[in-house]
Structure 1
Amino acid sequence: MALSSLVGTTIEWYDYFIYGSAAVLVFGPQFFPGTDPIASTLAAFATFAVGFLARPIGGIVMGHFGDRVGRKSMLIISMLLMGGATVAIGLLPNYAAIGVAAPVLLVLLRLVQGFGVGGEWGGAVLMSVEHAPQGRRTFFGSFPQMGLPAGIIFANLIFIFVVNSVSPDAFAAWGWRVPFLLSAALIVFGFILRFKITESPTFTDVKNTGAVEKQPLKTLVTGHYRPLLLASAASVAAPALGYLILVYMLSYGTTVLKLSQSTMLWLIIGGAIVWLIMIGVSAHTADRLGRKKVFLAGSLLVAAWALPFFALVDTGSPILILLAFAVGTSAIAMMAGPQAALVAALFPPAIRYSGSSVAYQVGSIIGGAFAPMIATALFAATGTSVLIAAYMAALGLLSFIALLFLKEDTTVARTNTLSEFA
């Protein structure tokens, strides 16, 4: 079950992150042509951010049906939505072909992507956590978390292959579409994989005992608002630093530091490999030492590493940039490893899909949606990365403080069929 979640989320995050790479490398001139490259880049980043706006809606809608109908069906639907939108982007005519309709359709397809991934995370982590043996739920819950860096690695490897296989003109004309069209084959594979999995035993117990919540979102907001708000705030720092590395740094490295696209993509892959490995390490550690302790250490590292991170990046040395990325992604992993089990344990089974999804997606919006845009604007205004580092450090401290006040909802211990959650 954990391996199935890893493969499924890898495919979904591949779909999501090839958009980020394309937003940096090609979407500006293709869909937002103009004389000012900064304005064009900001417009492309804005469409990237639009996907985040749909994520909480997807989390709410799929969370509702995931709590009422089941986890498995929502995972299948989220994959079909995500993959279908990704393939459609690969077929979308550019601005030169259809004018203003091109960016409008691009935004609409990005919204569909965001809606799909919004419902993905809650279902994937719950299927892993709720199938896991006692004492190993943090580690098993980390498998869908590993899908995020795995998707990054896969997406960037595909982009590197395409960039180095065709001429720059061919890449701009049609080569950038190849990674998107490849998603068609991945959808088929992912659909078969998810169709074969069994429903969560926790949801099955809820259904068999007649405890299905008719209005899970209402119950969540009225009866569990404190853990919801704190879990959302605690989930801010990881996506903020993650998207600065994945999206902003690709643009910054190629335009400001004058490094090649391939060099920056390889550096991001290097950071993602560390990220993937450290998620498993941090989850295993959290099963032994406690989820909250490991998460707190990760958020502190985000705050402490902000200034050194940008100082190392600004040297322009690939080795030092890789070091900056490796430590940064390790900090993200220290939060991501225990996050699934920690957040799931905050909510009783009947509203767990809704609670987990909304908390994660709200944190992703606040932290990740606008981070590339904010960083681009701050650098354009000041010419330095100091304010970007201060912004990053502040978000790390926000997550740290929120987690300090976060305590498990006491109703979980009474109603949770998986009573190991603590």
Structure 2
Amino acid sequence: MSSTVRQYPPGSAHEAGHSDVAPGEIAVGVVIGRASEYFDFFVFGIACVVVFPQVFFPFESPLNGTLWSFVIFSFAFICRPFGTAIFMAVQRRWGRGAKLTMALFMLGTATAGMAFLPSYETLGPAAILLLAIFRCLQGIALGGSWDGLPSLLSLNAPADRRGWYAMLGQLGAPVGFMLAGAIFLYLLSTLASEDLVEWGWRYPFFVAFAINVVALFARLRLVLTEEYTRLLEERELAPIRVSEVIDEQAYNVFIGAFAALASYALFHLVTIFPLSWINLHGERPLASVLTVQIIGAALSFVATIASGWVADHFGRRNTLAALAGLIGLFALSAPWLLGGGTAGENLFILCGFVLLGLSYGQASGTVTSNFSMYFRYTGAALTADIAWLFGAAFAPLVALGLSMKFGLIASSLYLISGAVCTLVALKINRLIETN
């Protein structure tokens, strides 16, 4: 297939689209899909801190058990681009419905499989191997669950409200964390530690499976209708080979991924990392930390909504650049806040969640408009995969490992590097556009 960029005159049928589908309807599908995905990831991430060191790594120290759990945590992000490549081929051959059904069935199976896993004491090293395999399957499935709705939402949003509609899909992140955190908070508050490690930790994974089933039918109901099919065709949002995107548009993929790096790095440094740091230092009950984080997620929800208004008034890229600078300044406070007792820890978490909402609310697709229509469907999916891989996959592992060895200044430097990458990528993108 030719990679020629197709241009249409303003106001043409292809430019405006024939299908009478409101952006709000598309947003519903985006929010449902993203909330279910984030819930899965937060359940696994919280479990890496709360129970996995005891269940799968009882032969290691608490620190090493947590670090090994974070290694397995990263596998899903490593496998995600491969899932995109595999399932784009599935969609080209069998269609969107088959692709989405297969991907979410795989995601649900992997998640439920974790719930039934025997512990290390029962199965030995095979238990760790199975956990790693299921985690890889989660990543492949999430890569395959791309439905094109975020790109469709961006293309059909009013020109003066693109920041507002861009943030709608990002609301799935705080919603997913609030749900996952609330379930673990309930378990921590009601079960003895022995019961939690023995069987209680499995419950959130069963819930994740049920949510995936609901999300599957909700998304299929949207993406398989005649109106959505016609709209996707009018916008030329069709899957192409990942290799073709890399050959022709690698610079756009990497600029898009690095432009969002500050937000993605912050993502796990205010959710999973503080939980692990405070837990290993034994300064306060995990239930207390989760309570503050759930409040922070609620603030992040409000901040994500606010990001839409800010971006529409000041520009999405200006907003992302300004917030990258604020994230860099926030990173400098990490050693004093996280090392400053309960009050400092709470302030770090709450301020971090607010910044996360403001920045992550506009991190999706900020520069994917650089892709022509021909490349956008696959290019947007691959850009998100690379952003997650570089920005978030290793954040808990690197931040915890380096901070335990060199102090919290190491986590500050990690986050500052993400902010610098975002600013450089946005600057390069602006230079490309002006030339």
Normalised to the residue count of structure 1, the TM-score between the two structures is: 0.88
* Cα separation, 1, equivalents of 2:374 and 2:258: 23
* Cα separation, 1, equivalents of 2:397 and 2:389: 13
Tell me the residue number matched to 2:151: 126
* Cα separation, 2, equivalents of 1:69 and 1:409: 37
Q: For 1:270-321, what per-residue CA distance to the aligned partner results, in whole angstroms no more than 9, with x for missing partners?
A: 222222221121122212321100111111111111021331121122x432
Tell me the residue number matched to 2:55: 30
Paired residue for 2:398, among 365, 374, 385? 374
- Whether the aligned pair in 2 keeps the contact of 1:62 and 1:74 (CA below 8 Å) is yes
* Cα separation, 2, equivalents of 1:171 and 1:177: 9
Pairs within 5 Å for 1:270-419 = 270-317=295-342, 319-382=343-406, 384-407=407-430
* Cα separation, 2, equivalents of 1:285 and 1:73: 39
Instruction: Report the CA distance between 1:135 and its aligned residue.
Output: 3.0
* Cα separation, 2, equivalents of 1:246 and 1:74: 31
Q: For 1:318-371, what per-residue CA distance to the aligned partner results, in whole angstroms no more than 9, with x for missing partners?
A: x43232223223333333222334244221222212211211211211121111
Instruction: Indicate whether 1:105 and 2:130 are aligned.
Output: yes
What SS does structure 2 have at the residue aligned with 1:17? helix
* Cα separation, 1, equivalents of 2:133 and 2:283: 33
Amino acid corresponding to residue 112 of structure 1 in structure 2: L
Amino acid corresponding to residue 109 of structure 2 in structure 1: G
What SS does structure 2 have at the residue aligned with 1:97? helix
Amino acid corresponding to residue 117 of structure 2 in structure 1: L
Q: For 1:197-217, what per-residue CA distance to the aligned partner results, in whole angstroms no more than 9, with x for missing partners?
A: 1459787466469x6878442
Q: Which runs of 5+ in 2 are unaligned?
A: 1-24
Amino acid corresponding to residue 37 of structure 2 in structure 1: E
Pairs within 5 Å for 1:254-269 = 254-256=279-281, 258-269=283-294
Distance verdict in 2 for CA 1:121–1:137, change over 3 Å: farther
- Whether the aligned pair in 1 keeps the contact of 2:263 and 2:356 (CA below 8 Å) is yes
Pairs within 5 Å for 1:152-231 = 152-198=177-223, 204=230, 207=233, 215-231=240-256
Aligned length: 407
Paired residue for 2:265, among 240, 254, 274? 240
Instruction: Report the CA distance between 1:8 and its aligned residue.
Output: 2.4
Instruction: Report the CA distance between 1:31 and its aligned residue.
Output: 1.0
- Whether the aligned pair in 2 keeps the contact of 1:239 and 1:368 (CA below 8 Å) is yes
Q: For 1:222-281, what per-residue CA distance to the aligned partner results, in whole angstroms no more than 9, with x for missing partners?
A: 322222121121222212221122212111112225111101111221222222221121
Tell me the residue number matched to 1:416: none
* Cα separation, 2, equivalents of 1:134 and 1:376: 42
Instruction: Report the CA distance between 1:121 and its aligned residue.
Output: 5.6
Tell me the residue number matched to 1:150: 175
Amino acid corresponding to residue 319 of structure 2 in structure 1: V
* Cα separation, 2, equivalents of 1:116 and 1:25: 25
* Cα separation, 2, equivalents of 1:289 and 1:66: 38
- Whether the aligned pair in 2 keeps the contact of 1:240 and 1:368 (CA below 8 Å) is yes
Amino acid corresponding to residue 386 of structure 1 in structure 2: I
Amino acid corresponding to residue 347 of structure 1 in structure 2: F
Instruction: Report the CA distance between 1:169 and its aligned residue.
Output: 0.9
Tell me the residue number matched to 1:137: 162
Q: For 1:55-82, what per-residue CA distance to the aligned partner results, in whole angstroms no more than 9, with x for missing partners?
A: 1212333455568876666444443332
* Cα separation, 2, equivalents of 1:75 and 1:141: 22
Instruction: Report the CA distance between 1:191 and its aligned residue.
Output: 2.1
Pairs within 5 Å for 1:39-118 = 39-63=64-88, 74-118=99-143
Tell me the residue number matched to 2:44: 19
Paired residue for 1:249, among 274, 287, 308? 274
RMSD: 2.6
* Cα separation, 2, equivalents of 1:69 and 1:351: 20
Amino acid corresponding to residue 325 of structure 1 in structure 2: I
Amino acid corresponding to residue 234 of structure 1 in structure 2: A
Distance verdict in 2 for CA 1:68–1:305, change over 3 Å: farther
Instruction: Report the CA distance between 1:402 and its aligned residue.
Output: 0.9
- Whether the aligned pair in 1 keeps the contact of 2:223 and 2:229 (CA below 8 Å) is no
- Whether the aligned pair in 2 keeps the contact of 1:347 and 1:409 (CA below 8 Å) is no
* Cα separation, 2, equivalents of 1:358 and 1:213: 14
- Whether the aligned pair in 2 keeps the contact of 1:75 and 1:123 (CA below 8 Å) is no
Amino acid corresponding to residue 342 of structure 1 in structure 2: T
- Whether the aligned pair in 2 keeps the contact of 1:313 and 1:320 (CA below 8 Å) is yes
Percent identical: 26
* Cα separation, 1, equivalents of 2:293 and 2:149: 25
Instruction: Report the CA distance between 1:386 and its aligned residue.
Output: 1.2
Amino acid corresponding to residue 171 of structure 1 in structure 2: L
Tell me the residue number matched to 1:413: none
* Cα separation, 1, equivalents of 2:97 and 2:159: 21
What SS does structure 1 have at the residue aligned with 2:153? helix
* Cα separation, 2, equivalents of 1:342 and 1:176: 37
* Cα separation, 2, equivalents of 1:64 and 1:342: 26
